[in-house]
Amino acid sequence: MSIGKKLRLKFIAVIIFAVLVGLIAYPKAVIKIPKLFNVLNKPKINLGLDLQGGIHLEYKADVSQIDNSKVAEAMQAVQDVIERRVNAFGVAEPVVYTTKSGGEQRLVVELAGIKDINQAKNLISATPLLEFKTEKTDVGQQIPQDVLDKTNKENKAKAQSLLDQIKNGADFATLAKENSQDPGSKDNGGDLGFVKKGAFVPEFDKVLFDGNLKNGEVYPDLVETQFGWHIIKKIEQRGSGDNLEVHSAHILISKATQPAPKTTWVSTGLSGKNLKSASVQFKTQGLSEPEVGLKFDDAGTKLFADITKNNIGKRVAIFLDGSIVTAPTVQSEVSNGEAVITGNYTLNEAKNLVKRLNEGALPVPISLVGQQSVEATLGQSSLEKSLKAGVIGLVLVIIFMLFYYRFLGLIASFALLIYSALMISIFKLSGFTPWQITLTLPGIAGFVLSIGMAVDANILIFERTKEEIRKGRNILSAIEEGFKRAWTSIRDGNVSSIITAFILMEMGTGFVKGFAVTLIIGVLMSMFTAVVITRTILRFILGSWIENKLWLVGVKKDDDSEISKKR
């Protein structure tokens, strides 16, 4: 195949390519051809929160129980869970990312197109927090036994002294208010009201119901119970048999005991991030209450095996949204990575819980600290202004290129229009790929900036071309040399821009990433249009016919004379 024929085929390919991307970018051009229009009109640009409106939510993550070395991993797990949750809900292209604010870990969720902020909050908060914790008992500081014995001897003596005072005519209610250590009845003069048998501890009940006390009589001896020493007075009674009720009062002098052991629950590191799946199951198929079976991933299986192995005879609690749902005692090591949540669930409750867990259980708790609703009208206004600014910028660039580079500028302007249509087509067609592009205001800024870079590449090529023409080269040779000499400058400048954009994409968040992604695509496509599209068109169109009309490529008449002398 001859060089001329190859060049012709390349030019035809460029024209077909230009028409195709032009129609994808502006399908209304074929609106009178319904079938073609419907096909081309299907791809849509996915607009971001700032352009189509929606909800912006910011959450603070509580990572106080997470080891510092694992905070980043936990936050990534939270982000993954929330993304699965909103994707399952059907939100198109949600933006979920983590960031830091004043040392706090934050999660930002942007749901474009959602208008109901309460719906959005419920969507996030509905995700359960699943945790596994082990029991830790703290007995506290023990009191020496001789100190306890001495204290209780003194307390009993005090109670006996109060009983003796009452026997000698002291007022029961007054002594109760001044000395009783029962906070529930002290202020009422020790009054306990009417009760039936079984309401109090056995020692107390026996005196009231079996002690043959008369109304208004005080029991003659101290009554010792687990709480201390009681002075008991029967005030009156009513009813009989099983309906017998006794109205009484007492004075309590408490018994000193060792501090009660304090039970706390310690995080094990096993949480919702390790959950592989949840399912409804029954101990006895169809004849028992439903349970929720949990199956862990490989890391969770190993962790759960270690937890059960090290806590045989102790309780391991399953917390859901901060509340214990079950705390079984470990009987043996569980090495198959399975656990069960029991909680007197109905079948529907168990199914709903399984659905929530499978949608994603949060490894750390999050709390809402900020919310913002972006109106679609504001987004539409921003979009219209941005597009208007982009069109004005494009027109001014084309005018400049036509004025300064003339025919070369005309070709560059055509390539620039192809570039613009190509970028819009990429935005639209990305929706049919796993890497859908969401266009935001910063993204539009990146697009407009890349237009300038596309023009910059053409300017470098054309200036080099004009230099070669002045040296005496013919137009086609000068263009080839111009592309060859300008390529290294174009390559280095654009590569440095791409590297900078990659750094922004990796280290930035939210809108900054949108700007960086659009800029990278724009720079790559601008290189393609400047080096491939423009070059192919110039090679095909320019020839000997322009040798005597060098003013069409921006070379002045004085330069023409100098070139003629060299020839």
Q: Could you give all domains of the chain from N- to C-terminal order, each with its CATH number?
A: 3-45+375-566 (1.20.1640.10), 57-141+262-373 (3.30.1360.200), 145-254 (3.10.50.40)
Strand 46-47, strand 438-439: pairing: parallel
Radius of gyration of the chain (CA): 41
Tell which phi-psi region holds residue 186, choosing left (phi > 0), alpha (psi between -120 and 50) or beta.
alpha
Render pLDDT for 86-135 as a digit per residue (tens, 0 to 9): 765 555 557 788 888 777 889 888 877 776 777 777 767 665 677 889 98
**What average pLDDT values come out for the chain (567 residues) when binned by 10 residues?**
81 92 90 88 78 81 82 81 67 73 83 73 68 80 86 94 93 93 91 91 90 89 93 91 90 88 83 81 69 85 90 84 77 84 76 68 79 66 74 84 84 87 90 76 79 79 83 81 86 88 76 81 87 85 71 59 49
pTM assigned to the model: 0.51
Give kind and range of the element (H or E) at residue 325.
strand 323-326
Give kind and range of the element (H or E) at residue 217.
none
- Percent of the chain past pLDDT 70, that is, above it, reads 87
Q: How confident is the model at residue 557, as a pLDDT?
A: 44
Q: Rounded distance, CA 373 to CA 375, Å?
A: 6
Render pLDDT for 63-72 as a digit per residue (tens, 0 to 9): 887 888 888 8
Q: Rounded distance, CA 190 to CA 231, Å?
A: 10
Q: Which of 214, 219, 206 is nearest to 250 (CA)?
A: 219
Q: Which of 350, 303, 319, 300 is nearest to 130 (CA)?
A: 319
Strand boundaries in 50-177, DSSP class E: 54-61, 95-101, 104-112, 130-138
For residue 61, which amino acid is it?
A: A
- Percent of the chain past pLDDT 90, that is, above it, reads 19
CB atoms within 10 A of CB 501: 23
The two structure tokens encoding residue 385? 């202004």
Helix H, strand E, coil C: the string for 346-414 is CHHHHHHHHHHHHHCCECCCEEEEEEEEECHHHHHHHHHHHHHHHHHHHHHHHHHHHHHHCHHHHHHHH
Q: What is the DSSP letter of 472?
A: T
Mention every residue, 6+ apart, whose C-beta is less than 8 A from residue 22: 29, 417, 418, 421
Render pLDDT for 529-543 as a digit per residue (tens, 0 to 9): 888 888 888 888 876
